[in-house]
């Protein structure tokens, strides 16, 4: 699929043709322009040439059918991962990538080992959602939410990510409610400040993973530039401007960041008069080999300490363990 040339190809035509074409792609979810019967035949031919709609993807399903993961290949041969999570309540959430590889090299992440190749265009980000939307449509179902938690740091590709969000959110696009779209960042303060100024109700998630700089620097080299204090100060400003809750993501790594001491420390850095607007998401670790996951008993103890300190906390359900559930793992294996 390649929608990068859509506007250019339709430029010589009256503007309503672009509207019709977008409706065919995003609303009717067609996979070949010949199915857009309201477009003139010669235009359909030109669009098939310039903006092909077939998506080249390899899909694997988890045994419990709750998760499907795909490697989506773009025209230049590079690929990213995207995941469909089918929730028990019937909702479907898609996790998308924003970059091919990632320059931030977080120690626990398979994508970080792959370095950055390039940013994705808004069309390539949207394509990942369209892949799943087409599949779900066959069963009269739809994509209800999107999370930017796949490969890449979304705020290093801010403009294209925001452009994609507007398409996902628009009624003429995929019509996914902004409140059901989440951006996860490793804490790039400029991006957090910019997002606060957008007139969008999207959710913000911060990958903290450690309550102090010593530990966070081991896990996330980016902590040298954006340390715990800077990140939390930016989040504080974001909350003051938007009054929106922010999710704090915390990967539970056995024997590394999961002791009672770290739970207390996390509670105290979040308790700055804003604790009601933070909620912590404890994430079970899908081992990439370097670290080991925390035991459930340790996670329960950590959770209890945060709750006692009046911090909202949930444990993220672990999707797709049997299909390389952590970001970058599937692509990493293909490259090995
Ligand atoms: S966790 Fe996210 S920011 Fe860190 S290396 Fe992986 S993709 Fe990049």
For ligand 1, whether the C-beta of 102 sits within 6 Å is yes
The mean pLDDT of the chain is: 92
Question: Domain ranges in the chain?
Answer: 1-54, 57-335
Which pTM does this prediction carry? 0.93
**What does each C-alpha distance from 196 to 136, 234, 239, 242, 254 come to in angstroms?**
32, 10, 8, 6, 34
Catalytic option among 51, 160, 249, 327: 327
For residue 113, the model assigns a pLDDT of: 79
In this predicted structure, what is the pLDDT of residue 335? Answer: 41
Instruction: Retrieve residue 148's tokens.
Output: 């930017």
Sign for the CA dihedral angle at 211, 212, 218, 221 comes to positive
Quote the CA–CA distance of 95 and 330 in Å, as a whole number: 14
Give the tokens for residue 110. Answer: 């398979």
Please give the distance, rounded to the nearest whole angstrom, from the Cα atom of residue 153 to the centre of ligand 1.
6
CATH number for the segment(s) 57-335: 3.20.20.70
C-alpha torsion sign, points 195, 201, 205, 211: positive
Closest approach atom of ligand 1 to CA 111: 6
Q: Please pick, among 51, 58, 81, 309, the residue that the annotation labels catalytic.
A: 81
Residue 335 CB coordination number (10 Å) = 12
Give the gyration radius of the chain's Cα atoms.
21
81 is catalytic: yes
pLDDT recorded at residue 317: 64
Residue in 152, 146, 164, 52 with CA at minimum distance from that of residue 111: 152
Nearest C-alpha to atom 5 of ligand 1 is from which residue?
112
The count of other CB atoms within 10 Å of the CB of residue 54 is 10
Cβ–ligand 1 distance for 111 under 6 Å, the answer yes
- Does the C-beta of 80 come closer than 6 Å to ligand 1? no
Task: Report the DSSP beta bridge partners of residue 315.
Answer: 282
The widest CA-to-CA distance across the chain, in whole angstroms, is 68
Best mutation site among 108, 153, 205, 331 for ligand 1 pocket (most ligand atoms within 8 Å of CB): 153
Q: What is the pLDDT of residues 111-168, one digit of tens each?
A: 877 889 999 999 999 999 999 999 999 999 999 999 999 999 999 999 999 999 999 9
Instruction: Give just the sign of the alpha carbon dihedral 114, 119, 121, 125.
Output: positive
CB-ligand 1 contact for 101 (6 Å cutoff): no
pLDDT in tens, 68-101: 999 999 999 999 999 999 999 999 999 999 999 9
Relative to beta strand 56-61, strand 67-73 is antiparallel
Q: What pLDDT does 319 receive? A: 57
Task: Tell me which of 109, 157, 326 to substitute to probe ligand 1's pocket, judged by most ligand atoms within 8 Å of the beta carbon.
Answer: 109
Q: Is 1-54 CATH 1.10.3470?
A: no
Report, as ranges of residue numbers, the positions in the chain whose pLDDT lies below 70. 288, 317-336
């Amino acid at each position: 699929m390649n929608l990068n040339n859509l506007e250019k190809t339709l430029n010589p035509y009256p503007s309503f043709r672009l509207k019709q074409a977008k409706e065919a792609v995003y609303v009717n979810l067609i996979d070949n322009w010949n199915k857009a019967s309201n477009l003139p035949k010669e235009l359909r031919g030109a669009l098939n040439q310039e903006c092909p709609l077939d998506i080249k993807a390899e899909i694997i399903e988890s045994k419990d059918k709750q998760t499907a993961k795909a490697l989506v290949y773009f025209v230049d041969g590079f690929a990213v991962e995207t995941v469909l999570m089918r929730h028990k309540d019937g909702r479907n959430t898609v996790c998308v990538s924003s970059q091919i590889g990632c320059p931030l090299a977080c120690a626990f992440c398979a994508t970080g080992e792959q370095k950055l190749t390039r940013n994705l265009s808004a069309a390539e980000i949207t394509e990942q959602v369209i892949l799943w939307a087409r599949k779900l449509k066959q069963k009269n179902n739809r994509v209800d939410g999107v999370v930017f938690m796949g490969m890449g740091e979304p705020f290093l590709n801010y403009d294209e990510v925001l452009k994609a969000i507007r398409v996902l959110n628009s009624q003429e696009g995929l019509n996914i409610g902004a409140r059901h779209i989440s951006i996860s960042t490793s804490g790039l303060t400029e991006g957090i400040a910019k997002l606060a100024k957008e007139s969008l109700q999207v959710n913000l998630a911060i990958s903290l993973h450690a309550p102090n700089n010593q530990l966070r620097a081991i896990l996330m080299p980016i902590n040298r530039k954006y340390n715990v204090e800077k990140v939390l100060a930016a989040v504080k400003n974001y909350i003051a401007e938007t009054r929106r809750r922010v999710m704090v993501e915390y990967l539970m790594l056995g024997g590394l960041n999961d002791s009672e001491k770290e739970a207390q420390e996390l509670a105290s850095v979040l308790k700055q008069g804003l604790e009601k607007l933070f909620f912590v998401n404890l994430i079970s670790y899908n081992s990439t080999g370097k670290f080991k996951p925390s035991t459930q008993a340790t996670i329960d103890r950590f959770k209890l300490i945060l709750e006692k300190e009046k911090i909202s906390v949930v444990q993220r359900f672990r999707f797709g363990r049997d299909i390389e559930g952590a970001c970058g793992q599937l692509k990493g294996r293909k490259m090995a």
